[in-house]
Amino acid sequence: MALRDFLYPQIEAQLVLARALDVDVVQISQGTISKEYEKVAAQITLSTRDAQRLDIKEGDFVEVGSKIGSVVVAAKLKEEQPESIVVMQPSPWAYAVIESMIPSQGTTVIIKPSKGPLTKIKELP
């Protein structure tokens, strides 16, 4: 591992969108500007192996950046998630970084650890 990778860990991944029932339920019952919605929608799912490479744990903040923008969201880890494939709920946070609304096309993103704070919905384009 190069010193740069140790000091500034980051990974390149393909971001895909996937709906989650729990997020939809909160969106309908609490609204999109509620704390509850922010908690479930402002997150990204990545593999535990990718998380190890970034030296992050469940709930840590990460910056997700693409050619069109960047956001800070919480990390959600899954053992069965393929490496270098990350998933976000279709939400204002995802729309701030995706390049195409065509579901079959992923967006290349760079993910790196962040101290936060979480990007607030009112700060999004």
**5-54: per-residue pLDDT in tens?**
566 799 999 999 887 766 666 676 766 677 888 888 899 999 999 999 99
Does 104 score more than 90 pLDDT?
no
Q: How far apart are CA 71 and CA 99, in angstroms?
A: 14
Does 87 score more than 90 pLDDT?
yes
More confident residue, 91 or 27: 91
Q: What is the pLDDT of residues 54-63, one digit of tens each?
A: 999 999 999 9
Q: Residues 123, 35, 37, 41: is their CA dihedral positive or negative?
A: positive
Position 2 scores a pLDDT of 59
* Among 34, 12, 14, CA closest to 91: 34
Looking at 1-106, list the stretches that DSSP marks H as alpha helix, in order from N- to C-terminal side: 3-7, 21-30, 35-41, 48-54, 92-95
Q: How far apart are CA 92 and CA 51, in angstroms?
A: 23
Position 35 scores a pLDDT of 83
pTM equals 0.87
Strand partners of residue 77: 46
Position 43 scores a pLDDT of 94
Q: What is the pLDDT of residues 65-85, one digit of tens each?
A: 999 999 999 999 999 999 999
* Among 79, 22, 19, CA closest to 52: 79
More confident residue, 41 or 2: 41
Ordered by where they begin, the domains of the chain are 3-123 (2.40.40.20)
Position 28 scores a pLDDT of 64
